[in-house]
Amino acid sequence: MQLLRQLGKALSRLFEWIGQGWQRLICSVFNLRRGWIRRRRPDYIVFTLDGELAERTPPQPWIYRQIPMFQPPASLDNLSEALGHIAEDPDLHGVVFLLKGLGPALTLSQAQSLTRLFERFRAWDRAENGDRPGYQAKEVVVFLEQTSNALCALGAAADRLILPPQADWNATGLHSEPTYLADALALLGVDFDVVKIAPWKTAFDRFSRTEMSDEAADQLNWLLDSLYHDLVIAIAQGRNLPEDEVTRLIDSAPHNAEAALAANLVDALAYEDELPWLLRVEESAGKTHGSSEREARFTTFRQAKAHLLRRPRRKTAGRIGVLSLTGTIMPGKSRRFPVELPLLGDRTIGSSTVQQEVRAALKDDSLDAVVLYVDSGGGSALASDLMWREITLLASQKPLVVYMGNVAASGGYYIATPAQRIVAQSATMTGSIGVIIGKPVTGGAYDKARVNRYSITRGDNADIFSDQAPWAGQQREQIEAQVRHSYAAFKRRVADGRNLPFDDLDSICSGKVWTGAQALENGLIDEIGDFRAAVNAAAQLADLPKDGHLDVVDIQANRPLLPVTQRQLQDAQELARLVLRRDWKALFSGERIWFMTDGLPKI
């Protein structure tokens, strides 16, 4: 038996040696061919971002990857992989990001992730090429067709920021306009009855109140203070300007392109077709003729891959699985809808789907650790707890790190509590640790319409969730008891998961929402960073190297990867079923909800 083990190890080392040798041979041949086409090699690799930017690339059917013109949706992990290859090539001058139509879609937390990616790209370049004679660092060039707070923060992180001559610099600061509908609903005879644990849990305030409460105003102000600080710091550090000067420029914005150039907010003004000459490069004309300048050659990463220097890939030191949870938390299976629905949004995280995916991760012995990517404002308390249980079992067997995207609050934070480490961006919305339950009261509307409705019951509380009348008497006491019980359970998860005293939690819970920077101060997260920081944290917990040579894979649990047309058909069928059969009402009826506060600032 011992002899067989030794033989197996020897064969494994032999195959590994053969594989590495074969890889080195292929890279050598490829790089030799690359030398013959020197004059066709690009100077800058161009990335065009003109839609939503996801954190993770959704799994695609394998047949899609065989289509020559197919390009997966833009995502931060795709960009990271591409920039890693680009950093290895010593002959490239840099990368150009053409940002088109990203204005409303890009959030400040995503801008912070991209900023960290730019920093990592520069570090990769120095590590690969810094010792070469005449080394010149690759530059990151950002071209903004239009601007916003988040885009101005991102552009400031570039080595060169360029605007079209007629564009404006629109970092005008933060603005929030919560809307309250109670008076308007009253005109229809509709009221909204709400039971919650604290005045900061304002998820249903828009339906139940006529004006903003003092607590909601305080919460908005502390969130705006933190986000505004992030915006000012990003621009000040990126553009090497004093913070008070940046504050003055924001207060007087918008600025036209020429004024922005004069204020050192941008580096140049040009149209897209002028970029190759603006980024012109020096080219040697031989020993006797010196050098001359020429337009930079641009190409996309897809086109450039055939011309980039290839290096043998080092053997991966381990495998980390990624489970992405994005949407509103609900019982049942995960759904995605072709349009956004009230409260639900365009996708849900189903507890039964997540249970299967977490169990698949637990059974997969090839996974050394797991990163849970959470982007959710909450949802069903029951579904959150069912998912929490499965995630807790996973965390007891494998290192588990949670990375929070744009928002991980209420139920989104609840499911993060079992993790050994939680990472978020400074602008991530998190917390909102509290419980709320509500129902519309439509008895007045029926009266206005002169509709007679009768209620016949068996059981004292059979009509407890009826929309005929608000809760009163013993029924209201029972609802309040349920809310208090759920809140206590939520705090217990936080106390146990974050190692915080249970009796001291109300000051940071009670439905209060925090930015990632504030959550770090309050002990609700462990680190400010991006997805790569979460992967590195998982590698550290699993005793794996943090040099990037890890196999990072998505976790799937027998989920069919359907062609687009078939998936869209299923999405439309799901939407019709929810609306026509009123399943949405069944999903929420009597459900204790962990939703994040509404009316929060968007940046």
Point out the least confidently predicted range of 260-269, 293-302, 548-557: 548-557
Q: Report CA dihedral (227, 229, 235, 239) to the nearest 10 degrees.
A: -160
- Using CB atoms within 10 Å of the CB of residue 358, give its burial: 0 to 12 exposed, 13 to 18 middle, 19+ buried: buried
Is-contact 221 532, C-beta < 8 A?
A: no
Count CA within 13 A, CB hemisphere, residue 108: 28
Helix (H) or strand (E) run with residue 372 in it: strand 369-376
Q: Are 384 and 411 in contact (CB under 8 A)?
A: yes
Q: Which residues pair with 269 in a beta bridge?
A: 163
Work out the pLDDT band at 154, boundaries 50, 70, 90: very high
Please calculate the CA angle 344-558-59 and round it to the nearest 5 degrees: 65
Burial string for 121-153 (b: 16+ CB within 10 Å, else e) reads bbebbeebbeeeeeeeebbbbbbbbbbbbbbbb
pLDDT grade, residue 161 (50/70/90)?
A: very high
Distance from chain centroid for Cα 312:
32
Residue 158 has pLDDT above 80, yes or no: yes
Alpha carbons 78 and 62: distance in angstroms, whole number: 16
Percent of the chain with pLDDT over 70: 77
Contacts of 502 (CB under 8 A, 6+ apart): 491, 492, 495
Give the sign of the dihedral formed by CA 78, CA 84, CA 89, CA 94.
positive
Q: Helix, strand, coil proportions of the chain in percent (round to 5)?
A: 45, 20, 40
Does domain 35-63+73-172+253-304 fall under CATH 3.90.226.10? My reply is yes
Lowest-confidence segment of 210-224, 300-314, 335-349, 549-563 by average pLDDT = 335-349
Across the range 556-574, mean pLDDT stands at 55
Half-sphere exposure of 171 (CA within 13 A, CB side): 29
HSE (CB half, 13 Å, CA atoms) of 181?
Answer: 14
Per DSSP bridges, beta strands 291-294 and 281-284 are: antiparallel
Rounded to an integer, the average pLDDT of 585-598 is 51
Q: Looking at the predicted structure, is the pLDDT value of residue 49 above 50?
A: yes
Distances (CA, A) of 309 to 23, 54, 85, 163, 305: 14, 28, 8, 31, 9
CATH homologous superfamily of 319-595 equals 2-enoyl-CoA Hydratase; Chain A, domain 1 (3.90.226.10)
Helix (H) or strand (E) segment spanning residue 595: strand 593-595
Cβ-proximal residues to 503 (8 Å cutoff; 6+ apart), any chain: none
Q: What tokens does 487 get?
A: 């809140």
CA-closest candidate to residue 195, choices 506, 595, 480: 480
**pLDDT of residue 385 exceeding 90:** yes
pLDDT for the residue 556: 78
β strands within 273-312, DSSP E: 281-284, 291-294, 298-300
Direct distance between the N- and C-terminal alpha carbons of the chain, in angstroms, rounded to an integer? 63
35-63+73-172+253-304 and 319-595 in the same fold: yes
Contact of 201 with 436, CB cutoff 8 Å = yes
Contact predicate 375/406, CB 8 Å: yes
Q: Which two tokens stand for residue 387?
A: 């998912």
Instruction: Look at residue 368 and tell me whether its pLDDT is greater than 90.
Output: yes
What pLDDT shows up at residue 342? Answer: 55
**Range 374-402 average pLDDT:** 94
Give the model's pLDDT for residue 574: 58
Residue type, 352: S
Distance CA 413, CA 435 (A): 12
- Given a contact cutoff of 8 angstroms between Cβ atoms, the answer to whether 325 and 349 are in contact is yes
- Within 100-247, strands assigned E span 139-144, 160-163, 168-169, 191-196
Cα–Cα distance for residue pair 50/143, rounded to 1 Å: 12
Asked whether residue 564 carries a pLDDT value surpassing 50, the answer given is no
- 30-38 contact pairs (CB < 8 A, 24+): 30/310, 31/309, 31/310, 34/307, 34/308, 34/309, 34/310, 37/307
Given this model, what pLDDT does residue 601 score?
61
* Dist CA 457 CA 452 (whole Å): 17
Q: Residue ranges of the domains in the chain?
A: 35-63+73-172+253-304, 319-595
In contact, 216 and 200? CB cutoff 8 Å: yes
Least confident range from 109-123, 185-199, 341-355: namely 341-355
In this prediction the pTM is: 0.86
At residue 204 the predicted structure's pLDDT band, cuts being 50, 70 and 90, is confident
Q: In this structure, are residues 454 and 480 in contact, taking their beta carbons and an 8 Å threshold? A: no
At 70, which amino acid appears?
Answer: F
Q: Which of 484, 470, 511 is nearest to 595 (CA)?
A: 511
From the centroid of its chain, how far is CA 440?
32
